[in-house]
Amino acid sequence: MTAAAPPAPAVPGDRSRPLAGTGILLRFALRRDRVTIPLWVAANALMVLSMPSAIRGLYGTPAERAELMLQMETNASLRAMIGPVFGDSVGALTAWRIGGYAGILAAVMSLLVVLRHTRDEEESGRQELVSSGRVGRRAPLTAALLAAAVANTALALLITAGLAGQGAAGALALGLGVAGTGMVFATTAAIVAQLTQSARLARGLTSAVLGMAFVLRAAGDFATTGDASPAPGAGGEPAGGESSVLTWLSPLGWLAQLRAFASERWWVLLLFAAATALQAGIAYALAGRRDLGMSFLPTRPGPARGRVGTAGALAWRLQRGSVLGWSAGFFVAGAVYGGMADGAIRLVGDHDEAREIFRRMGGQADLTDSFLAAVVGMIGLVAALFAVSSVLRLSGEESSGRAEPVLAGAVGRLRWAAGHLLIAFGGSVLIMLMAGLGLAAGHGGRLGPVLGACLVQVAGVWVIGGIAVLLHGVLPRGAVAAWGVAVTVLLIGWVGPVLDVPQLVLDLSPFGHLPRLPGGRMEWGPVGVLLALAALLVAGGLAGLRRRDIGG
């Protein structure tokens, strides 16, 4: 009697073990993201957990909170921007004020994690090398989704534990809702990774999907009448009105309709689960029907004769989509915030604490100027993320091996880097100008002062960009820490004034030293110092780049 043959080892694409090697790939993905995932999770959780104390400081009594809800019923612009209010407790107001933004951050984190470990790996060629071993066909996609699940689970646990004092059920609902939002967009990224052959195009498409989800949610909440808001005297319970259909078309709308801390709708979590499962199934089906490195959307071939003749032209070709997308987004955001100005001022009314926070953020006695200055400051903080992303494109070109063929010719390192830095620093000016144009258009005038206020923020943006250049040039493997710097500065500017943190902490941010415009007095000294600091940081980074090995 002959002995049975041993089972054949798994090979790439082996249908018998499609998930072989998933555990190893998951550990590798978490190791690679051991800095970025904790930063995203910590920043998001800190933003959420800091809000209850801010709510207590602003609306300490039930009467003040009831008045806030009554004003939100008739303030459609703020309802579109933030969402509807469903309860008058501190927890319900926390979910209203910050829950939507937490969901957006969880979505961005999940999109980046999944695309990094799927389409980025295939485009760089590393996935082909990994798949030549005993790795199942669907193991890379599974590991990427599990990495996103680990990040969102950690975020849900932190939110649930941190807000449990406001109500265990509401804290659990908000935590699961934020994590569910992240996982919905993680599986969206998994589908897009199968459709596109370029990581840049994948990021652009997923960003467009997230933007569309926000627009649908905002349009739905804008169209929602007051009967979907809490009824006065009803203990914060909803009055029974129905939300717009547009709201239910967006996962961000599901997060609000979960109604954490206000008679939770637990069945809404089934929408997150169903969407995640459906999209994951589609992604797996697509992954099984294409070759490694290929995509379902064909890539248009370039011209027979190349038209890119300089390093600067190449940098623009690589980053033009990002610049144009950020510019359009900042113009729209400026217009939205400009249109909100009058509604926000009416909402604040005679509330002394809220007025004080606006003045702390905007630095002006006039409440309208304070609001505009606070908005300009927040737009500048977000623009720093663009600067970091654009500068770190240098790291992406190095790690993918695309920089070496360029530098093998007549292009020097500084000329190559200068092309990308021109996009990063010049693009920062462009997107701030677009934000100023949108803000002036939405507010109905004051173009000159608003544009000037936006341009002043460029000094702070350039300092953050300079830090990214320094890290890339001197410590390329640690260049990702520039994201940590940008997120830290964003948190200081976002929650610092609300929590009334010490001035010493606020001074850690370069934006804390800029004059508060419009309405304030222009001070050239701090702006000049920050510009000089940015120049020194860039010079140090370029000096380091000249002396180190490319890809080292």
Reduced 3-state DSSP string for 21-75: CHHHHHHHHHHHCCCHHHHHHHHHHHHHHCHHHHHHHHCCCHHHHHHHHHHHHHC
Residue 11 maps to a domain: no
Q: Are residues 195 and 344 in the same domain?
A: no
Check: CB of residue 478 under 8 Å from CB of residue 550: no
Q: Are residues 334 and 262 in the same domain?
A: no
Residue 3 maps to a domain: no
Q: Are residues 506 and 411 in the same domain?
A: yes
- In a 3-state reduction of DSSP, which class is residue 394? helix
- C-alpha 214, offset from chain centre: 12
User: What backbone phi and psi angles, to 5 degrees, belong to 339?
Assistant: -70, -20
Only one residue has tokens 């200081």, namely 492
Would you give the DSSP letter of residue 512? G
Q: Are residues 517 and 433 in the same domain?
A: yes
Task: Give the end of a domain, one of 264, 296, 328.
Answer: 296
- C-alpha 288, offset from chain centre: 30
**How many whole angstroms separate alpha carbon 493 and alpha carbon 363?**
13
What is the number of other CB atoms lying within 10 angstroms of the CB of residue 317? Answer: 13
Alpha-carbon torsion angle 25, 30, 33, 39, nearest 10: 160
Q: Is the peptide bond before 251 cis (omega within 30 degrees of 0)?
A: no
**How many whole angstroms separate alpha carbon 516 and alpha carbon 307?**
45
Q: Are residues 291 and 319 in the same domain?
A: no
Which residue range forms the structural domain that includes residue 288? 17-296
Residue 332 maps to a domain: yes
Task: Give the end of a domain, one of 296, 331, 363.
Answer: 296
**How many whole angstroms separate alpha carbon 398 and alpha carbon 405?**
10
Q: What is the pLDDT along the chain (552 residues), one digit of tens a residue?
A: 444 444 444 444 455 577 777 888 899 889 988 888 998 898 889 888 888 887 777 777 778 777 777 766 666 666 766 778 887 788 888 888 888 888 998 999 999 999 988 888 887 777 777 777 777 778 888 999 999 999 999 999 999 999 998 899 999 999 999 999 999 999 999 999 888 877 777 887 888 888 888 888 877 777 665 444 444 433 444 444 466 788 888 899 899 899 999 888 999 999 999 999 999 999 999 887 876 666 667 666 666 666 767 888 888 888 888 888 889 888 988 887 887 766 666 655 555 555 555 555 545 556 677 778 888 888 898 899 899 989 988 888 887 777 788 887 778 888 888 999 999 999 999 999 999 998 888 877 678 888 998 999 999 999 999 999 999 999 888 888 888 888 888 878 776 666 666 777 778 889 888 888 887 788 889 999 999 999 999 999 999 988 888 765
Taking each helix axis from N to C end, the angle separating 311-348 and 199-223, rounded to the nearest 10 degrees, works out to 20
What is the number of other CB atoms lying within 10 angstroms of the CB of residue 145? Answer: 26
Residue 108 maps to a domain: yes
Q: Are residues 255 and 322 in the same domain?
A: no
Check: CB of residue 466 under 8 Å from CB of residue 424: no
For every residue of 120-178, DSSP letters joined together read: HHHHHTHHHHHHTSS--TTHHHHHHHHHHHHHHHHHHHHHHHHHGGG-HHHHHHHHHHH
What is the number of other CB atoms lying within 10 angstroms of the CB of residue 309? Answer: 8
- In a 3-state reduction of DSSP, which class is residue 308? coil
The structure tokens listed for 66 are 């009831």
Of 381, 373, 385, nearest to 338 by C-alpha is 373
Beta bridge partners of residue 338, listed in sequence order: none
Q: Are residues 244 and 342 in the same domain?
A: no
Task: Give the end of a domain, one of 296, 326, 353.
Answer: 296
What is the number of other CB atoms lying within 10 angstroms of the CB of residue 60? Answer: 12
Check: CB of residue 427 under 8 Å from CB of residue 419: no
Residue 188 maps to a domain: yes
State the pLDDT at residue 430: 95
Of 180, 325, 331, 201, nearest to 265 by C-alpha is 180
Phi-psi region of 167 (alpha: psi -120 to 50; beta: other; left: phi over 0): left
Residue 361 maps to a domain: yes
- The structural domain count of the chain equals 2
**How many whole angstroms separate alpha carbon 366 and alpha carbon 502?**
24
**How many whole angstroms separate alpha carbon 301 and alpha carbon 275?**
35
Q: Are residues 399 and 465 in the same domain?
A: yes
Residue 304 maps to a domain: no
Q: Are residues 436 and 353 in the same domain?
A: yes
Check: CB of residue 332 under 8 Å from CB of residue 438: yes
Please name the residues in contact with 20: beta carbons below 8 A apart, sequence gap of 6 or more: 10, 14, 134, 135, 136, 139
State the pLDDT at residue 321: 82
For every residue of 454-481, DSSP letters joined together read: HHHTHHHHHHHHHHHHHHHHH-GGGTTH
State the pLDDT at residue 348: 59
What is the number of other CB atoms lying within 10 angstroms of the CB of residue 146? Answer: 18
Taking each helix axis from N to C end, the angle separating 51-58 and 481-499, rounded to the nearest 10 degrees, works out to 20
The structure tokens listed for 153 are 């689970």
Residue 6 maps to a domain: no
* Amino acid at residue number 119: R
Q: Are residues 209 and 320 in the same domain?
A: no
* Amino acid at residue number 172: L
Q: Calculate ∠ Cα 136-137-141, nearest 5°.
A: 100
Q: Are residues 316 and 171 in the same domain?
A: no
**How many whole angstroms separate alpha carbon 506 and alpha carbon 512?**
6
**How many whole angstroms separate alpha carbon 71 and alpha carbon 344?**
10
Q: Are residues 291 and 381 in the same domain?
A: no
> Taking the model in full, what pTM does it have?
0.77
